[in-house]
């Protein structure tokens, strides 16, 4: 693979770029609703049965063609996890419970959680605007963006381009030119250039019943810039200090193999066959990392299950280290209509049961998480492949864990 794909635009090459940072849009999230429709309620799940379920799910995903799979289940008291398959196609190293898996857009809830801690500290408000927080960016931005707020960005209601479609990537690359992208290789200058360009593009509107909702990875990059202005901390440091440390979690920013060559590889269909993806390097890498706040976390299946478990405890009213305003936001979603998106979660309601759910895709990995709004249980699944069919397998599998 040629690492200069980012700066030599074409449909095929932009598609390769997108595959490295392709977090699924709202339509993909909504699709899980039909899977969860038949799921029941209650919090009396048998832990032994839950352990059997996660083992069955992980093994079943591998039998259906997933290279390596992980599954997790949690209630407020305990978690159960299992893995199956291989770290890399063509190798013989089995996937291990301590291996990292990229969770893609499921990172968004962590970014929103970090933002809530900044709001609780009084350094920003949910309604802090672009003009108030980043006046240097606002000066060159279209008037439509002057009054967008931190919460607008986190809820995908700011109207900024999504960068979850090939067309957006092509537009950016073609507009600025390969020479500029090759020259700007410092993270700060790449971010500044990208955000200035982004805020000069016409606003987008969502489709469907809620035209105010337009899913945007780029919006999370802009939110992270607002958080840095308020705290002096870059997104990765903020995530570690405000989310990972208080919750007792370990997480890694970046694709799993950046933590070590023995970590799992992501896989996609390339040249007509499933194969491991190489790591992006310069000049592509610095531009991909601008969108890290939208989906760059990797973690183990147990850590992901514990992250969801904190949500269960908070939703039940237990004291947790989760920021107060984040918990309130989750509780408010319990009263929101189905289809509402907030703070990195989509609301689904079926037969009297409410759910928070999200999926993610990054660097040949996929992830799915579901949390019961009554705080009773949560389920998740990870895969180290990303194909046209694999997310559907995760959808179906997670539904069995929370049924």
- pLDDT (tens digit per residue) in 308-357: 999 999 999 999 999 999 999 999 999 888 889 999 999 987 546 799 99
Predicted confidence band of residue 49 (pLDDT cuts 50, 70, 90): confident
pLDDT for the residue numbered 45 = 53
pLDDT at 197: 97
34, pLDDT greater than 70: no
Chain segment 121-164, per-residue pLDDT in tens: 999 999 999 999 999 999 999 999 999 999 999 999 999 999 98
Relative to beta strand 267-270, strand 252-253 is unpaired
Does the pTM surpass 0.95? The reply is no
318: left (phi over 0), alpha (psi -120 to 50) or beta: beta
Count, residues in the chain: 403
Query: Is the previous residue joined to 119 through a cis bond, with omega within 30 degrees of 0?
Result: no
User: How high is the pLDDT of residue 309?
Assistant: 98
pLDDT at 6: 26
DSSP string, 197-256: HHTTSPP----TT-TT----HHHHHHHHHHHHHHHS--HHHHHIIIIIHHHT---EES-G
Chain centroid offset of residue 353 CA:
24
Query: Residue 42 pLDDT more than 80?
Result: no
Contact between residue 47 and residue 80 where contact means Cβ atoms under 8 Å apart: yes
For residues 80-84, give the mean pLDDT: 97
Q: Nearest 5°: phi and psi at 316?
A: -85, -5
Angle among Cα 246, 248, 253 to the nearest 5 degrees reads 90
- Give the model confidence (pLDDT) of 101-110 as tens digits: 999 999 999 9
User: What token pair was written down for 290?
Assistant: 């601008």
The pLDDT value recorded for residue 352 is 61
Closest residue by Cα to residue 384 from 172, 163, 91, 149:
91
H/E stretch holding 154 reads helix 150-154
Residue 31 has pLDDT above 80, yes or no: no
pLDDT digits (tens, 9 = 90+) for 210-230: 889 999 999 999 999 999 999
Closest CA to 381 of 108, 82, 100, 94: 82
The helix/strand/coil state of 365 is: strand
| CB contact set of 49 (below 8 Å; sequence gap of 6+) | none
Q: What is the pLDDT of residue 10?
A: 27
Looking only at the bridges linking them, the beta strands covering 101-102 and 297-299 are antiparallel
The residues, ordered by sequence, that sit 6+ positions from 163 with a Cβ below 8 Å of its Cβ are 21, 169, 172, 216, 217, 218, 291
**Residue predicted with more confidence, 22 or 287:** 287
Per-residue model confidence (pLDDT) at position 69: 98
Overall average pLDDT of the 9-18 stretch: 29
Q: What residues form DSSP beta bridges with 346?
A: 341, 357
**CATH of 5-402 among 3.30.360.10, 3.40.710.10, 3.40.1440.10, 3.10.20.30:** 3.40.710.10
Q: 240 near 233, Cβ under 8 Å?
A: no
Which ranges in 160-210 belong to alpha helices (H)? 166-176, 178-183, 187-198
In contact, 243 and 249? CB cutoff 8 Å? yes
Alpha carbon distance 402, 176 (integer Å): 47
Name the burial class of residue 171, with classes exposed (0-12), middle (13-18) and buried (19+) by CB atoms within 10 angstroms of its CB.
middle
Q: What pLDDT is stored for residue 254 in this prediction? A: 96
Residue 358 CB-half CA count within 13 A: 24
SS3 letters across 117-128: HHHHHCCCCCCC
The dihedral through the CA atoms of 23, 123, 186, 153 has a sign that is positive
pLDDT tier for residue 1 given thresholds of 50, 70 and 90: very low
Q: Which of 66, 155, 90, 86 is nearest to 368 (CA)?
A: 66
- List all residues 6 or more positions away from 105 whose beta carbon is below 8 Å from its beta carbon: 23, 24, 217, 294, 295, 358, 359, 360, 361, 362
Task: Give the model confidence (pLDDT) of 220-259 as tens digits.
Answer: 999 999 999 999 999 999 999 999 999 999 999 999 999 9
Q: Is the pLDDT of residue 275 over 90?
A: yes
Given this model, what pLDDT does residue 43 score? 43
């Amino acid at each position: 693979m040629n690492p200069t794909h980012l700066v030599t635009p074409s449909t095929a090459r932009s598609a390769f770029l997108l595959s490295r940072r392709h977090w699924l849009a709202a339509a993909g999230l909504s699709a899980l609703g039909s899977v969860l429709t038949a799921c029941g309620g209650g919090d009396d799940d048998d832990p032994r049965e839950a352990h059997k379920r996660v083992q069955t799910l992980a093994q079943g995903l591998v039998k259906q063609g997933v290279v390596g799979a992980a599954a997790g289940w949690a209630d407020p008291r305990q978690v159960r996890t299992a893995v199956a398959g291989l770290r890399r196609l063509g190798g013989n190293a089995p996937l291990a419970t301590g291996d990292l898996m990229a969770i893609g857009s499921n990172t968004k809830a962590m970014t929103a959680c970090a933002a809530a801690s900044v709001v609780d500290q009084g350094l920003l408000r949910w309604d802090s605007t672009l003009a108030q927080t980043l006046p240097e960016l606002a000066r060159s931005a279209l008037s439509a963006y002057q009054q967008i707020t931190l919460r607008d960005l986190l809820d995908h209601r700011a109207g900024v381009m999504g960068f979850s479609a090939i067309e957006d990537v092509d537009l950016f690359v073609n507009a600025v030119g390969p020479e500029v992208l090759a020259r700007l290789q410092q993270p700060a200058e790449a971010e500044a250039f990208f955000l200035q360009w982004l805020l000069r593009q016409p606003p987008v509107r969502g489709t469907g019943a809620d035209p105010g909702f337009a899913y945007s990875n780029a919006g999370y990059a802009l939110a992270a810039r607002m958080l840095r202005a308020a705290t002096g901390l870059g997104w990765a440091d903020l995530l570690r200090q405000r989310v990972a440390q208080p919750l007792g979690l370990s997480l890694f920013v970046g694709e799993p193999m950046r933590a070590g060559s023995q970590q799992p590889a992501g896989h996609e269909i390339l040249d007509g066959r499933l194969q491991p993806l190489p790591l992006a390097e310069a000049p592509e890498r610095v531009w991909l990392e601008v969108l890290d706040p939208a989906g760059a976390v990797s973690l183990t299946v147990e850590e992901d299950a514990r992250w969801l478990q904190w949500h269960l405890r908070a939703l039940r009213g237990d004291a947790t280290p989760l920021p107060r305003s984040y918990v309130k936001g989750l509780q408010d979603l319990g009263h929101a209509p189905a289809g509402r998106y907030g703070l990195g979660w989509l609301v689904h309601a079926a037969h009297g049961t409410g759910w928070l759910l999200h999926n993610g895709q990054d660097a040949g990995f996929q992830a799915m998480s579901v949390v019961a709004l009554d705080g009773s249980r949560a389920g998740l699944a990870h895969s180290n492949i990303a194909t046209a069919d694999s997310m559907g397998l995760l959808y179906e599998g997670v539904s069995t864990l929370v049924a």
